[in-house]
Amino acid sequence: MGLEGVLLGMGNPLLDISAVVDEDFLKKFDIQLNNAILAEDKHKSMYDEMTAKYNVEYIAGGATQNSIRVAQWLLQVPGATSYIGCIGKDKYGEEMTKNSKQAGVNVHYYEDENTPTGTCAVCVVGGERSLIANLSAANCYKSEHLKKPENWALVEKAKYFYIAGFFLTVSPESIQLVAEHAAANNKVFMMNLSAPFICEFFKDPQEKALPYMDYVFGNETEARTFSKVHGWETDNVEEIAIKISQLPKASGTHKRITVITQGADPVCVAQDGKVTLYPVILLPKEKLVDTNGAGDAFVGGFLSQLVQEKPIEECVRAGCYAANVIIQRSGCTYPEKPDFQ
C-alpha cells in the first residue's frame, strides 16, 4: 500500500521556547502546570524574561505539527505525511520549514508577510509542563490558502486527517472543508479536544466539527471539562469516553472511537458502547525530562499504525512507545531512528 501523502495534518505551527523555570515564575505570570492557554497581556513580558533568566531551548512545535512529525518518524517513509499551517516570513519560520523538511514532512505553509511566526512558552517545573501560546502568524491562516489547487491536492491525496482542537480558534472554515471532504469520500477524520479552554470557550465550532470526527483524542482533564460543559454530570473518564463515541455522526461509514490518555494511568479506548483499558509503559521518575509533547507524541504514534490499517491495540502500543520516548527528552524531539518493533 502506497503511503505517500496518506496523512494530512492542519494546525498552528509554533516555535516552542522551552525552559525549566521555578514556582515564583509560575506565580508571577499566573501559570498552572499541565495546562495550555493563549497568551494574554499579562504574559507579554514573559517570553523575554524567560530568555534572560533561564536556559532556553528553541524546538519546532505546535500540537498537530508535533503529532505529524512523530507519525512521520515512525513511518520512515519520506513524504508519508503532509502539514498545513501559517508561519511568518522570518528566521523562526525558515528554521521551522528546514526542520520539518528534514523530518520528511511535506509542509505547505502559508507565509504571512506582516506577522511573526507564532511561539509557545513551555514552562517546566518538576517534569510537568505548562503551555502559553502566542499564535501570531499561526492565527492568520485563511481557507483561501487551503483551496489553492496545489494545497487542496494534499487533501485529495490523503486518506487520514488529523487536526488538533487548537485550530478551532483559527480557521473553523478550513476544518469544515476537510471534514466534509472526508465524510463524502469515506476517509478518516480525527480531532483532539486539546485543552480545557477549547471545550469551554470554543464549544460552538467544536460542536459543528464533532459529527465528522471518526476518532476523538484527548486527556482526562479535557474529557472531564467536555463532560461538564455538556452537562453530563460525570467525572468518570470511561463513561465520558463512551458518551463522546455515541454522539451523532455525519456519516455512517466509520463508527466513532474515543481515545483518552490519563498520564501514567491506562489509555481508555471507547467504541461500540464499551471501553478497553491499555496500560502505558511506566517510567521511573528520575528518567522523566518533561511531559511537553507527550500527548501529541501519543497521537503521532497511534496514527503511524492506523494509516497502515493496523488493529487498535497496535495503534495504542505505538502511541505509548512514542510518548515514552518523548518524555525522556526535552520537548517533542526523538532520536534519529525509532526502535518500535
User: Tens digits of per-residue pLDDT, 183-206?
Assistant: 999 999 999 999 999 999 999 999
CATH topology of domain 7-14+61-117+135-327: UDP-N-acetylmuramoyl-L-alanine:D-glutamate ligase (3.40.1190)
The 10s digit of each residue's pLDDT in 58-103 is 888 899 999 999 999 999 999 999 999 999 999 889 989 998 899 9
Q: Where are the beta strands (DSSP E) in 105-214?
A: 106-112, 119-125, 128-134, 160-164, 188-192
Place of cell 496545489: 150
Q: What is the pTM of this model?
A: 0.94
Q: Please, which residues bridge with residue 17 across strands?
A: 58, 121
Q: Is the dihedral of CA 311, 81, 328, 13 positive or negative?
A: negative
Bridge-based pairing of strands 36-38 and 14-20 is unpaired
Where are the chain's structural domains? 7-14+61-117+135-327
Q: What SS3 state is found at 29? A: coil
Mean pLDDT of the chain: 95
For residue 296, indicate whether it is catalytic. Answer: yes
- Judge whether 301 and 320 are in contact, CB under 8 Å: yes
Indicate whether 1 pLDDT > 80: no
What confidence tens digit (pLDDT) does each residue in 99-121 have? 889 999 999 999 999 999 999 99
Contact predicate 188/159, CB 8 Å: yes
Encoded amino acid at 126, one letter: G
Question: In terms of Cα–Cα distance, which of 96, 59, 103, 58 is closest to 82?
Answer: 103
Predicted confidence band of residue 253 (pLDDT cuts 50, 70, 90)? confident
If DSSP codes are grouped into helix, strand and coil, which group holds residue 128?
A: strand
Q: 164 near 194, Cβ under 8 Å?
A: yes
The one catalytic residue in 30, 90, 296, 339 is 296
